[in-house]
Amino acid sequence: MHFLDQAKIFIRSGAGGPGAVSFRREKFIEYGGPDGGEGGKGGDIVFEAVPGLNTLIDFRYTQHFRAPRGKGGAGSNMTGAGGKDLVIKVPVGTQILADDEERTLLADLIEEGQRIVFLKGGDGGRGNASYKSSTNRAPRQHGTGWPSEEMYVWLRLKLLADVGLVGLPNAGKSTFINAVTNAQAKVGAYAFTTLRPQLGVVSHRGREFVVADIPGLIEGAAEGAGIGDRFLGHIERCQVLLHLVDANDEDVATSYRIVRDELDAYGEGLAGKPAVLALNKIDMLDDELIAALSAELEAASGKKVYPLSAAGEIGLEPVLDALLERISAEHVEDDGPGEPIEWSPI
């Protein structure tokens, strides 16, 4: 399945149905009077966050969504049928943005089962029976129904994960997520092997948490260098970051600072998130060199450094323990997801 995290769509609610102009025609009733019923209400546009989706690829092929309009009223004071609501199912973590220069945030669906009535259908028009008065005994006017609402919106997906992996290209992020989760990320001996975010579930010490791997950052990513920083949005909601540094880099301290500078330039609070720092690919180094590189990295970062080898599955347990300690208890799944909730904007 292809990954798509942004899509522009057109949405329109249903218009209200017209009211009816009708008069009673019954035997032995001389003055039947008006009995035109009201039109039906148009369908709403509803967004719902559902599990099992992690891409917006469906919206590349279906980009127009129109709810049906209400049916017209009828005689005998019969109200027209209402238009059925159109429910648009999106992945959990989808944001709905206005189609303007600022891409104003309109809604954020972060809970499974969350529903929002985004555009309301028009009310049905009045039938002529409702216009009857002491001075207007046989009204022939009726309402045509309230119009629909329509607009273009952008959908933007921000994956929900507890841990986000960051680092330079070839830092071993894909190898790490393959080693500790059920993911099958592509691994290669060249830069930018990862071209789209990957999710995996870690089972550690009787608990589970989700890890997100994004394409590697290079110097100038905030200005669009390499793949740029467009995928950093997928780790904005992470509880903690795991920063991997390749032990084979010429200067591990410089490698660390490049990524931290790009996180700071991106903003959105990423630079201030709790982080675990790990020195990866130590399986081909001796203990003395590992200690020296770890000390250099600690001096540059001020953080404890965890030596590991994702490929050799060395040192994974201490890193997972450190991540688990930093993840809030309410964000760690013990008994599976809770019950879906109903939600609507104020």
Residue ranges for the known binding site are 167-174, 192-196, 213-216, 280-283, 309-311
Q: Are 195 and 180 in contact (CB under 8 A)?
A: no
Superfamily of domain 163-331: P-loop containing nucleotide triphosphate hydrolases (3.40.50.300)
- Cβ within 8 Å of residue 345, ≥6 positions away: 107, 116, 117
* pLDDT greater than 90 at residue 15: yes
DSSP alpha helices (H): ranges in the chain?
A: 58-61, 173-180, 252-266, 287-301, 316-326
Neighbouring C-beta atoms of residue 47, cutoff 10 Å: 24
Residue ranges for the known binding site for Mg(2+) are 174, 194
pLDDT band, very low/low/confident/very high, at 150 (cuts 50, 70, 90): very high
Identify which of 10-14, 33-37, 110-114 has the greatest average pLDDT: 10-14
Task: Give the tens place of pLDDT for each residue, 236-286.
Answer: 888 899 999 999 998 999 999 999 998 888 887 888 889 999 999 998 889
**Lowest mean pLDDT: which of 106-120, 171-185, 243-257?**
171-185
Q: What is the pLDDT of residue 52?
A: 83
| Mean per-residue pLDDT, 99-126 | 93
pTM of the entire predicted model: 0.74
145-179 burial code (b ≥16 CB/10 A, e <16)? bbebbeeebbbbbbbbbbbbbbbbbbbbbbbbbbb
Cα dihedral 95, 185, 230, 113, rounded to 10, equals 0
- The dihedral region occupied by 56, where left means phi > 0, alpha psi between -120 and 50, and beta the remainder, is alpha
- Cβ within 8 Å of residue 6, ≥6 positions away: 56, 154, 155, 156, 157
Q: Which residue has the higher pLDDT, 99 or 32?
A: 99
| Mean per-residue pLDDT, 212-218 | 77
Longest dimension (CA), the chain: 109
* pLDDT greater than 70 at residue 32: yes
Length of the chain: 346
Q: How would CATH label the architecture of 1-157?
A: Distorted Sandwich (2.70)
Which of the 8 DSSP states describes residue 234?
G
Give the sheet arrangement for strand 163-166, strand by strand.
198-204, 207-213, 163-166, 240-246, 275-280, 305-307
Q: What is the pLDDT of residue 342?
A: 38
Q: Which of 147, 131, 123, 122 has the alpha carbon at shortest distance from 36?
A: 131
| Mean per-residue pLDDT, 46-64 | 91
Q: How many CA atoms lie within 13 A of 296 on its CB side?
A: 18
Q: Are 71 and 28 in contact (CB under 8 A)?
A: no
Beta bridge partners of 203: 208
Residue ranges for the known binding site for GTP are 167-174, 192-196, 213-216, 280-283, 309-311
Beta bridge partners of 303: none
Annotated domain spans of the chain: 1-157, 163-331
